[in-house]
Amino acid sequence: MNKWLILCAAGLLAMAATGCASGDEGSEPAAGSEQGTAKGKTALKLAIQKQSDYYAALEKGFEAKYPAIDVQIKAYGQEYQKTANTELLAGKGADLYEIDSLPIRDYQDKKTFVNLDDRLAQEKELDRDDLETNILQAVKLDGGTYAVPAGFSLRAFIGDGDALQTQSYDERKWTWTDFAAFARQAIEREQASGKERRYAMTDYTPDMLLQEMFIDNYPAFVDPAARKASFDGPEFTAMMKQIKQMYDDRVMSADPAASGKQLFYSAVLQSPADFINGPYALFANPVLVQKPHAAGQPDGMRIIPQGQLAVNAKSPVQDKAWAFIAYALSKEAQSLPARPGMSLLKSVNAAQLDELRRQAKAGTYKLPGGKAVDVPDERFAQYAQLMDTATNYALPDSQLMNIVSEEAITYFGGQKSAEEAAKLIQNRVTTYLNE
């Protein structure tokens, strides 16, 4: 697999009461019942899974703006989900939680986190016209903003433009069935012209494809509120059989292959520069296309929020916790080099795209490996539109997805029938949902 794709995947898989605004620049947010520190400052506790340069820089910048607040960050590592769950269910814990790896939906009935809608609406220091409101709207839960991301990535589908222009397709409507038929025809046409055989995708296992298709259809198979699952019906077994057929027909391959041996790549774009660095490292004429999706499901690139912060409803310093989130959305914090993903501010993303465009027009832009690339000027408007209009977001449960993958592998490997694997998934998921 291309090194850029491996780094993207590894980087991502290693993968909230109302009140006043935080006030004017440099002023202290209003205080309620507060907790003190030995330094005579107000403690603001933030729980995260893993420490990073971003959180260190965020802490430093926030404390410089609010010198009477002592930000105390604690990283829990692999024990984060277990520890956070214990603390939150006991009504204790930190004031702020990074919830990227926490099952936030599980806490909704208990009103564990604060709805931040009013805070966002009233915050004087935020320019709401500059916010990527499509992202904030997409990540709402039950109509409320219970977590605010520091950035976001986009799950992209990248195609070989030279191959795609010889065959018609409707990317806004195509399903995985349409995709398989399109790829099969493209592969056969290239072989007939004497070219070496290619695949739709390589180094992409059946369970990986199942996860993509499952996320698209998540509401059809899982009802978290009712604690019900529907994996033992014909729809799910048909999905698994469709996937297996694509591999049996050699449209897809789980094996690694040399660069250029596949028509499409699924990749994660984590910055404006990735619109160029990733695709142009894969193809001379890359095209960003809509990922195939279930009929009736949203199209467009899927949003992956990063660095999401939620305010503990039991925190005695909710004003200060919100001030921390508001600072994370400021121009200063959004411009931090270590901030994950693309920015929540349109102006920051636009500035980065403008610089990339300037270099591309001057012919001085090069990929990380040193290769010069020719990027058509009109592509940059497309890149900006993709960031500003992305609305496709799913909130699957990672543990539930692991169950689906573990049992589906027994079918793809030939140990069980699709019906047997689906029944095991149904039983395990039902047990998990009712724990």
Q: CATH number for the domain including 45?
A: 3.40.190.10
H-helix or E-strand spanning residue 176: helix 176-192
Distance CA 152, CA 135 (A): 8
Least confident among 174-178, 310-314, 345-349: 174-178
DSSP 354-414: HHHHHHHHHT--B-TTS-B----THHHHHHHHHHHH--B-----HHHHHHHHHHHHHHHTT
Whether 127 has a pLDDT exceeding 90, the answer reads yes
Instruction: Supply the pLDDT for residue 394.
Output: 85
Q: Which tokens sit at 347?
A: 């102006």
Over residues 167-191, the mean pLDDT reads 88
Nearest alpha carbon to residue 382 among 290, 294, 295: 290
**CA–CA dist 362, 377 (Å, integer):** 11
Dihedral of alpha carbons 272, 307, 208, 10, sign: positive
pLDDT band at 24 (very low <50, low <70, confident <90, very high): very low
Task: Give, in order, the Cα–Cα distances in Å from 374 to each of 11, 268, 276, 285, 345.
Answer: 28, 22, 10, 9, 27
pLDDT at 1 over 70: no
In this structure, is residue 354 part of a structural domain?
no
Does residue 97 share a domain with residue 141?
yes
Confidence of residue 414 (pLDDT cuts 50, 70, 90): very high
> Are 27 and 133 found together in one domain?
yes
Judge whether residue 216 has pLDDT over 50.
yes
Q: What is the dihedral of CA 17, 21, 27, 28, to 10 degrees?
A: -10
- pLDDT tops 50 at residue 312: yes
Show Cβ contacts of residue 329 under 8 Å, excluding neighbours closer than 6 positions: 126, 131, 148, 150, 344, 345
- Could you tell me if 418 and 297 lie in one domain? yes
Distance CA 348, CA 332 (A): 10
CB 199 within 8 A of CB 187: yes
* 412 & 269 share domain: yes
Query: What per-residue confidence (pLDDT) applies to 299?
Result: 73
Run of H or E including 121: helix 117-122
Same domain, 143 and 166: no
Tokens of 415: 């140990």
The pairing of strands 264-269 and 286-289 is unpaired
Q: How many domains does the chain have?
A: 2
The residue segments making up the domain with residue 129 are 3-150+307-344
Question: Greater confidence, 196 or 299?
Answer: 196
Global pTM value: 0.86
Shared-domain flag, residues 131 and 167: no
Name the region of 111 (left: φ>0; alpha: ψ -120 to 50; beta: rest): left
Confidence band of 33 (pLDDT split at 50, 70, 90): very low
Integer CA distances (angstroms), 366 to 72, 276, 353, 362, 370, in order? 41, 9, 14, 11, 5
What pLDDT does residue 172 have? 81
Please check whether residue 359 lies inside any domain of the structure. no
For strand 151-160 and strand 342-343, is the pairing parallel, antiparallel, or unpaired? antiparallel
Please name which of 88, 16, 15 lies closest in space to residue 50, comparing C-alpha atoms: 15
**Same-domain check for residues 233 and 88:** no
376 domain residue, yes or no: no
Separation between Cα atoms, residue 21 and residue 323, nearest integer Å: 8
Residue 12: the pLDDT is 45
- Tell me, yes or no, whether 316 and 264 share the same domain: no
Q: Could you give the percent of the chain with pLDDT greater than 70?
A: 91
Q: Do 170 and 142 lie in a common domain?
A: no
Residue 370 resides in a domain: no
The pLDDT assigned to 368 comes to 93
Mean pLDDT of the chain: 89
Question: Which whole number is the average pLDDT over 414-435?
Answer: 95
* Structural contact between residues 150 and 341, judged by C-beta atoms closer than 8 angstroms: yes
Tell me the range of 16-30, 120-134, 210-224 where mean pLDDT is highest: 120-134
pLDDT attached to residue 37: 62
Examine residue 121 and state whether it is found in any structural domain, yes or no.
yes
Contact by Cβ (8 Å): 156, 266: yes
Residue 6 has pLDDT above 60, yes or no: no
pLDDT for the residue 103 = 87
Answer yes or no: is pLDDT of 69 > 80. Answer: yes
Q: What angle is formed at CA 171 by the lines to CA 261 and CA 289, rounded to 5 degrees?
A: 55
Residues 121 and 183 in one domain: no
24, 23, 58, 54: which is closest to 44 by C-alpha? Answer: 58
Mean pLDDT across 204-211: 95
Domain membership of residue 47 (yes or no) is: yes
- 146/203 same-domain check: no
pLDDT above 80: residue 252: yes
Dist CA 307 CA 73 (whole Å): 14
Considering the domain boundaries, does residue 271 fall inside one? Answer: yes
For 149, phi then psi, to 5°, come to: -80, 155
What is the reported pLDDT for 109? 80
pLDDT of residue 154: 96
Other beta carbons within 10 Å of 337: 7
Q: Residue 283 has which token pair? A: 């193809």
Tell me: pLDDT of 85 over 60: yes
Q: Examine the domain organization and report whether 128 and 11 are in the same domain.
A: yes
The mean pLDDT of 410-429, rounded to a whole number, is 97
In a domain, 372, yes or no: no
